[in-house]
Structure formats: C-alpha cells, structure tokens
Amino acid sequence: MSEPVEIPPLDAALTRADCLRLVAGLEANPPAHLRPVTLAVLATFTADLLRPWLVVECARRGIALKWRSTPYGQVEQQIIDPASELYAANPEAIIILLRLADLAPAADGRFLSLDVNQAGEERGRLTQWMAQQLQTLRSRTGAVIMVSNFTPPEVAAAGLADGSLIHSQAGWVHSVNLAMAEVCAAVPRTSVLDVARIAVETGMHRWRDDRLAFMAKAPLSGEALAALARLSARSLRAAAVPPKKCLVLDMDNTLWGGVVGEAGIEGIALGPDYPGNVFMEFQRRILSLRDRGVLLAAASKNNPADVEAVFAEHPSCLLRREHFSAFEVHWEDKAVSLRRVARALNIGLDALVFFDDNPVERAWVREQLPAVTVIEAPTSPMGYWKALDDSGCFDSLTLTNEDRQRAGMYAQEEQRKALQSSAGSLEDFLRSLDLVLTVGRIDESTLPRVAQLLAKTNQFNLTTRRHDEAAIREMSGAGAGLWVRVRDRFGDAGLVGVVIAVPADAGTWRIDTLLMSCRVIGRRVETAMLGLLERAAAQRGVHCLHGEFVPSLKNQPASGFLPDHGFVPNGEYWKLMFENPRALPDYFRFEDHSGIPLL
C-alpha cells in the first residue's frame, strides 16, 4: 500500500492540478485520522468540477469525503424518486446547489418585466417549492441537509439604477434568501449554505466562467469552486464535529502590541491609529465570538496587576476583566494555566483553543497538551483574526439562545460559588438559590437544543449516545422525552437537562439518555429529572425502569447515579422497581409544560 498523502495546511494555496493529484492519493490511501463522510450533491447545474476541490478541503478539516454525484438539473426528480441515485448512496450529508437562472429565469434576467405583485408571487413560488422538496427529503433520509442561497445578480437588470430602486433586483434576491432561511430553519438538521456571502467576497465578475457555462452548464470559475469548497468543507465539519467551547488568549503582543510590564499602559500599541487599531480590531472580533457563546480565558506570563490595569484603565481596551470566564495571569507554565482553565470551567482540554503569538509557547502546549487545539498565529497581527476564523474551531450550523447566554452564565456561576462558600450546608445553599426547574416534553421548538446537548455533553451523561433529531423525535414519541430548564436568583441556565426513555418489556421502560450540562452539576437536578421520568412512566402504567451506565473517558461524574438512586444490577442493565414516584427535591419550585403530575 502506498504511503498516505501529506495533506497541505489550510493556508497553502492550491491549483486544480494540485487538487487532482491529492485526490488520487487521498482516495487510494486515506489517512487513518480522517473521519469518513458520504456526501450527495444535488445541483441545478453541472457541479462535478467541485469534487477535487472539496475532497481536498475536507481532508484539510479532518474529513475523508466520499463524493456521490447525481445528474445535474434533476434536483426535484432525485428527491421525489425513492429509487434514485440520491437515496441509493445513503449519504450522511446532502448539499443542494441552486442558481436563480435555473429556477426563476425571468427574475434573473428580466426582473424589470415583473411588477411588485408578480415579484412577490415568484418569491412565494420559490420558497414553497423549496419547502416541498425539503419535507420530502426529510421524510426519507436522516442526512444533514445544506441548501445554497442565491447569489446577487452579476449584472443588475436596472443597471446603475438598481441601488436606487425601492423594489430593486438585489433587494428581491435578498428577500428570497431570507424566506429560504426560514424554510430551512423549519426542517430539522437543515441549514443554509451561504453562497451569497462568499460570492460577494470573491467578486461576482470572478464568480462565473462564461466558457464553461455555455459549453458545459458548469458556470463556476476555478476561484468560485475553491471558495465554495472551503465553505462546504467547513460546514460539513461543523455538522460532524461539535464546536470548541473556550478561546484561551495570551496578552502581550496578542491583545495589544508590546509588553505591558516594560512599556506600561501608555506604551503598549492599542488605539484608533496604526498599529494599535490592528489590536483593537482583533479584540472586537474576539468579543463577537463571546457574543455567540464562546468562553474567553487568559493564559499570560505577566504581572497580574499590570494586566488588570490595562483592562480597567486603558481607554481603547475593548475587552474587560469581566469578559474572561477564567483568568490565569502569572509566571507559571502555560500548560499549567490551560489545565487550570479546563478545571475552572469544568470542560475538557479538548474544548480549549489556544492563541499565542509566541511560537515557543505554542510548541510547548502542543507537546504537553495534545488535546488542546493550538492556532498557528501569523507573524503579523493583521492576520490574527483570519487565522482564528479559518480554523473553524467555533463553527456551528445553528445558534441557540443558550449559546448566546453562555458567557454570562459562567459569570453567574462565580456568584453562586461565593454564596456556597458562606452557606452552612449544601441544603442551605440550594434553598438560598431560589431554584426554579421547568419541565417540558421534547417538541420541534426544543429539538435543536436537545440534539445539541446530546452531541456535546460528556461529563454527566449516562450513555453518551449521540442521536440526531430524527432519532430523538422517534424515541420521544414511543416512550418519553423530557427536557428541563433551571434558573435561580442569579440567572437562567437555560435548557440544561434531557432524559429519554423507550419501551422495553411490558411495563418497563429503558433509559436511553439521561444527561445534564456541567453548569448545573451539584444542584441535584439529576434527582429531579429521575423523579419526573418516574411520573411520566407511571402515567403510562410503567413501574419498572432499566438504566445503564456506559463508561467513557469523561463521564465519571455520572458513574454513581444509578446505585445512588436505588437501581440494582440486573444482568446487562440496572433495574428500578417503584410503586409510587419518588418525592421531588423540595428546594426546587417546579413549572410544568409537560402535563406530568408533579404532586
């Protein structure tokens, strides 16, 4: 067998010839560390030229892509026919590539021939068509689906006047894309592939290859194919791999220019003019990551007082001390700092991303903590954000309210710890929190968050089974699927717990999943969840539960749950018989959205 091909780094420029050579090696002998993913591509145009670019881009992001193409221009036929090449491929992911010129030629080329009402009708027709295709597709496959949106017009029908029109062609295309996004959001495991954005970034006049468009129905230029492959590979990785949770940052020459311990606050480069504005922009981008749920932590060899002064006093410092959920500023080893960050946030080392301008520190962390993702920072700070963004470490196809609130939740946890240290006992502490637990049955509105929890919860998780939305929906309908939210005097932790049980023998349910976020470990939420499940079971005449603990590298905190709650060994399962559901913890106030009797 030939040696595995060497995969080029993300920042290496490639030609089509490079990709063709690499594909041959990747398909002949794929590196063992790559995760296999079967992809089916549906397109209204010839998309086969995308294949070599996409196979290589996927390999760069840890995926061994198995490409399954279908005849071009047969999107609807492939979806409708249960015996089509699409379903025969049994793909894990499906990408649907659409062109406005293929689906609505009048709106693409002769937009001015449509009045406002006709344009609205055309938008409705397109979105209704897309909704029908996705509903059929979802009924026949559990694959992740990604649908491209429409690029802006390369040449606007109204020419220069388009930007001045209230009902412009560009505005209409944008409105169609918004409507399509709503359609995708309503279908489980379906998201938008934002081709419109990357086409604008590339340049509309460089997006199309006229020669190939006319001769082979293959309108995308080499530059467009490369950009589309990068976007698609990132999206496929985001569908297959949960995002990292925490960005750990160095300080000197990373968040500002210079060494604050030597130059002082006034001497560091941080401000509205060059080069300080480069670091301000990097800080602004970091805050945008925090806004979408990424935790921030510090790992700096420095005098703590100097760093604290920058955050508190520097007028151009956008980051503040309270933005950091963990703060390791001292003269100890960076690997030591990262271990402490993981412990403080109760997350694994593999959830950390380390960004440091110093190549020696990066090499040391890679050697000492191989589970940590280390970003190869460029020599120029102008490239910091691009390197961080291109890594895809924090990519996610969906964004929930819990994601947006995550950083604030960790700040609230610090307040809880302070209260706990002054409480006389655990019971006193829990009562002082004014805990409210809300329970509901899993439905379409909570399914995305439930699936997200199953995908990434590791510590308090009895089985660590990673079910998709379709499987969760099916199991919840057959037995019981419950979610719980927790809030207290300091804030709302969000939807943090899930329990799913399915019928086993007559009168018996098997607990497939019981998990909760590490944010609420120690508040006995797990006991309340089991009591709620017993009540749901009793409603259906079930008085026996089978549970199992499947050990993993990280779920030791859940190892004692079953024996601690009265389950006894019974062959391959643990067994719990009950006549009456257990009492729910009285330090919770319960709000019911499930119809389960709480008394």
H helices within 49-168, ranges in order? 51-60, 75-80, 85-88, 100-103, 105-109, 116-140
**Secondary structure letter of residue 366 according to DSSP:** H
Residue 168: the pLDDT is: 95
Q: Model confidence at 511, in pLDDT bands (50, 70, 90)?
A: very high
Q: Are 454 and 494 in contact, with CB atoms under 8 Å apart? A: no
Locate 23 and state its tokens: 């594909």
CA-CA distance, 23 to 29, in Å (whole number)? 10
Q: Are 319 and 255 in contact, with CB atoms under 8 Å apart? A: yes
Residue 418: the pLDDT is: 65
The model's pLDDT over 81-138, given as tens digits with 9 standing for 90+, comes to 999 999 999 999 999 999 999 999 989 989 999 999 999 999 999 999 999 999 999 9
**Torsion region of 15: left, alpha or beta (phi above 0 gives left; psi -120 to 50 gives alpha):** beta
Q: In the predicted model, is pLDDT for residue 1 greater than 60?
A: no
Q: In the predicted model, is pLDDT for residue 262 greater than 80?
A: yes
Q: Model confidence at 520, in pLDDT bands (50, 70, 90)?
A: confident
Q: In the predicted model, is pLDDT for residue 599 greater than 60?
A: no
Residue 566: the pLDDT is: 95
Q: In the predicted model, is pLDDT for residue 2 greater than 70?
A: no
Q: In the predicted model, is pLDDT for residue 421 greater than 80?
A: no
Q: Kindly give, in sequence order, each residue whose CB lies less than 8 Å from that of residue 514, ignoring residues fewer than 6 positions away.
A: 461, 462, 463, 498, 499, 500, 526, 529, 530, 533, 547, 558, 561
Residue 491: the pLDDT is: 84
Q: What percent of the chain has pLDDT over 70?
A: 97
Element (H, E) at 114: none
Residue 411: the pLDDT is: 66
Residue 402: the pLDDT is: 73
The model's pLDDT over 137-181, given as tens digits with 9 standing for 90+, comes to 999 998 999 999 999 998 899 999 999 999 999 999 999 999 999
Residue 27: the pLDDT is: 82
Residue type, 29: N
**What mean pLDDT, rounded, does the chain reach?**
92
Give 522 or 366, the one with higher predicted confidence.
366
* DSSP track, 152-188: PPSS-TTGGGGGG-TT-HHHHHHHHHHHHHHHHHTST
Q: Are 53 and 18 in contact, with CB atoms under 8 Å apart? A: no
Residue 553: the pLDDT is: 85
The stretch 230-247 carries a mean pLDDT of 94
Q: In the predicted model, is pLDDT for residue 559 greater than 80?
A: yes
Residue 484: the pLDDT is: 96
Residue 452: the pLDDT is: 87
Q: Model confidence at 404, in pLDDT bands (50, 70, 90)?
A: confident
Q: What percent of the chain has pLDDT over 90?
A: 78
The model's pLDDT over 272-328, given as tens digits with 9 standing for 90+, comes to 999 999 999 999 999 999 999 999 999 999 999 999 999 999 999 999 999 999 999
Query: Cα–Cα–Cα angle for 39, 45, 51, nearest 5°?
Result: 40
Locate 344 and state its tokens: 């403080």
Q: In the predicted model, is pLDDT for residue 246 greater than 80?
A: yes
Lowest mean pLDDT among 29-33, 191-195, 505-509, 554-558: 29-33
Q: In the predicted model, is pLDDT for residue 413 greater than 70?
A: no
Q: Model confidence at 354, in pLDDT bands (50, 70, 90)?
A: very high
